[in-house]
Structure 1
Amino acid sequence: MATATALPIPDFFNPAKVAEVWRVPYQERAAQARQWAQHYQIPPASDDPQRTILLLTDVQNTFCLPEFELFVPGAVADNQRLCRFIYTHLAQISEIIVTLDTHTASQIFHPLFWVNPAGEHPLPLTTITLQDVEEGYWQPNPHLLSSLPLGDLASLQTYARHYVAQLAAKGRFPLTIWPYHSMLGGIGHALVSAVEEACFFHTVARQQQTRIELKGSHPLTENYSVLRPEVSHDPQGRPLGAVNRALIEHLLAGDRLIIAGQAKSHCVAWTVADLLREIQQRDAQLAQRVYLLEDCMSPVVVPGVVDFSEAANAAFAEFAAAGINRISTSSVPWNL
């Protein structure tokens, strides 16, 4: 690694602005990043003898800012710590990869997709079960056929039953109807401004482009994990979305992989679970290269409605038992 010394945090970083949306002054930050690298003798990432990848899961306004659609309590403080981590470990982080949850209105987990016999759409946080679909309480919206890759209403209805049945059979979360969120082209889809700024600063200082991975755009399946969809095939066995093999290979080729982001109970947990499945099929020892930065992530909690804290804790206990490391920004074992 480039150095084992923690770097200072640039003066422009303002923790109070982590909860706000603003424009990153790219030209100014680029000049500062070049000066920073020169002053602290930070080499290009291509010179790193060991490659450390930082994977940031869905650090987007829609999940991380209090006034947005699916705010994860704790996300603002998580991102304050995350930004500090990026700046102080700038010389150790070889590459940053960000995932972006990417949606449109007519997807299977949004209200518009479903109707009841009265023509009403489900409210956000409604759970749709196999029984609901079989009894006709919730049915797919026939007016969306022209927006979906299905030919007729019968196929759409068959698919809807298949989808919720597959979730139950695979032991996944039941189908939850989420508020419209991470809408492609909208402000909620964007990275948190302070995190985008830190990634840009890293890109220029280390001369290593931040890699962006979009996920979740297929209308007929959820995509909590960036590595694979929740349901991968339709009733005829045709694939709905490809496994992200290129990203899997890239992540496993690094010497260290640090994972942070939102939400701990959903997109982070499912991504780690999918990666661990790949690791166990190849070499269980590879799990020791993975580090979960737990004070830079939080579970989904909607007070009085749903709390996924226990599910997150159970998943992370299983990850640790398989050899994956659980760390915090104050306990990075290979550096400070």
Structure 2
Amino acid sequence: MFTYPFEQIVEVENIGEPTKQTFDQFLRNTNLPSVKKAKDDEEKVLLLAIDVQNDFMDAGALGVPGAKQDVERLLQFIHHNFEQITHIMASIDTHKPQQIFHPCWWEDSSGNEPEPLTIITYEDIQSGKWSPRFHHEKSMAYVRKLEEQSKKQLCIWPYHCIQGSYGVSLESQFTKMAYLHSLLRDYELKTVVKGEDPLSEMYGIIQPEYSEKELVRYDVVEEIKQYDKVIIAGEAASHCVIESVIQIVEHVKDDRRLLENIYVLTDCMSSIPGFEEETEKEFQTLHRDYGVQLILTSEW
């Protein structure tokens, strides 16, 4: 049983904020207990933390209201289940400014860039309402394919998770807890970088919304299949979490045992405002059709 006090690990007041304490200082000033090693677990449990990054915290570049409280509950969950969680895997959304969902990619007839949260349709491009500044034909084809395949419409987002910036980093208190877990349980923290292709959106952890390239992360799928149970949390519920769950379900749908052992922590994720109702319907469909479990942290 992991008995080290939560408050000596997590600075709750600094969740979503920069911290001056380095990981080196934390480890050197802490008398940590020994715990069971992950390799000795009879039941293998994966915690998949989706995009727990600074730019998705409440005050971040693409802040999700409620994210700070989500992270606090997630950290409490990890602490409480420290020896039941075998491994933690964290996805890291990573971009450059020149990507198809950022403002600089598009302009109207006057040369103005779209405001964040602008939806661009194939009809908009055909009519000249919006024109891509880069890769014109491929940009048109991408938006058309999104609509043909009933994917999320192209939404222009604020510049976020820019490679090398503070915003792309994993949230500081989550980072501390996740690496502490990996050190004490004796494994290497698993990280998955996503979203680097300039001509596609990659909400989910497995594959882009659409791409002409072969970008499916079959290695991540095979990793997930190694576990008896998979717990999922993170930001934002309406985009990166829901799409990650949908993609995982699609790739493991022939394994009913695993499907019914996917658990989504509903109190450790929040939606981007305006997408709540649609997101709730999608999660309920996953529960009804595939047996995905929607639970509170207290119900685990």
Band the TM-score falls in, shorter-chain normalisation:
over 0.9
Q: Deviations over 1:255-286 (max 9, x none)?
A: 11100000001000001001111122x22332
Match of 2:275 in 1: 308
Alignment of 1:89-168 (within 5 A): 89-141=81-133, 144=134, 156-168=135-147
Deviation for aligned residue 1:23: 4.2
Aligned amino acid, residue 242 of structure 2:
A
Aligned to 2:215, which of 206, 230, 242? 242
Q: Is it true that 1:37 corresponds to 2:33 in the alignment?
A: yes
Q: Deviations over 1:184-215 (max 9, x none)?
A: 10011011111111111111111112111100
How far apart are the structure 1 equivalents of 2:199 and 2:190?
26
Match of 1:318 in 2: 285
How far apart are the structure 1 equivalents of 2:92 and 2:142?
23
Unaligned runs of 5+ in 1: 145-155, 234-238, 302-306
Deviation for aligned residue 1:114: 0.8
Alignment of 1:156-195 (within 5 A): 156-195=135-174
* Equivalent pair of 1:285/1:323 in contact (CA under 8 Å): no
- SS at the partner of 1:214? strand
Deviation for aligned residue 1:80: 0.7
The CA RMSD over aligned residues, in Å, is 1.7
Aligned amino acid, residue 276 of structure 2:
S
Deviation for aligned residue 1:116: 1.5
The structure number with the bigger radius of gyration is 1
Q: Is it true that 1:15 corresponds to 2:12 in the alignment?
A: yes
How far apart are the structure 1 equivalents of 2:183 and 2:58?
26
Deviation for aligned residue 1:308: 0.3
Aligned amino acid, residue 41 of structure 2:
D
Deviation for aligned residue 1:327: 1.2
* Equivalent pair of 2:199/2:211 in contact (CA under 8 Å): no
* Equivalent pair of 1:52/1:255 in contact (CA under 8 Å): yes
> Runs of 4+ in structure 1 displaced over 6 angstroms?
none
* Equivalent pair of 1:29/1:201 in contact (CA under 8 Å): no
Match of 1:200 in 2: 179
Change (3 A) 1:32 1:290: farther
Q: Is it true that 1:76 corresponds to 2:49 in the alignment?
A: no
Change (3 A) 1:298 1:271: same
Match of 2:226 in 1: 253
Aligned amino acid, residue 215 of structure 1:
K
Unaligned runs of 5+ in 2: none
Deviation for aligned residue 1:24: 4.5
Aligned to 2:24, which of 22, 27, 38? 27
Matched pairs, number: 299
* Equivalent pair of 1:291/1:324 in contact (CA under 8 Å): yes
Deviation for aligned residue 1:134: 0.8
Q: Is it true that 1:288 corresponds to 2:260 in the alignment?
A: yes
* Equivalent pair of 2:4/2:32 in contact (CA under 8 Å): no
Deviation for aligned residue 1:7: 6.8
* Equivalent pair of 1:37/1:43 in contact (CA under 8 Å): no
* Equivalent pair of 1:7/1:88 in contact (CA under 8 Å): no
Aligned amino acid, residue 93 of structure 2:
D
Deviation for aligned residue 1:31: 4.8
Match of 1:227 in 2: 206
Aligned amino acid, residue 226 of structure 1:
I
Aligned amino acid, residue 33 of structure 2:
A
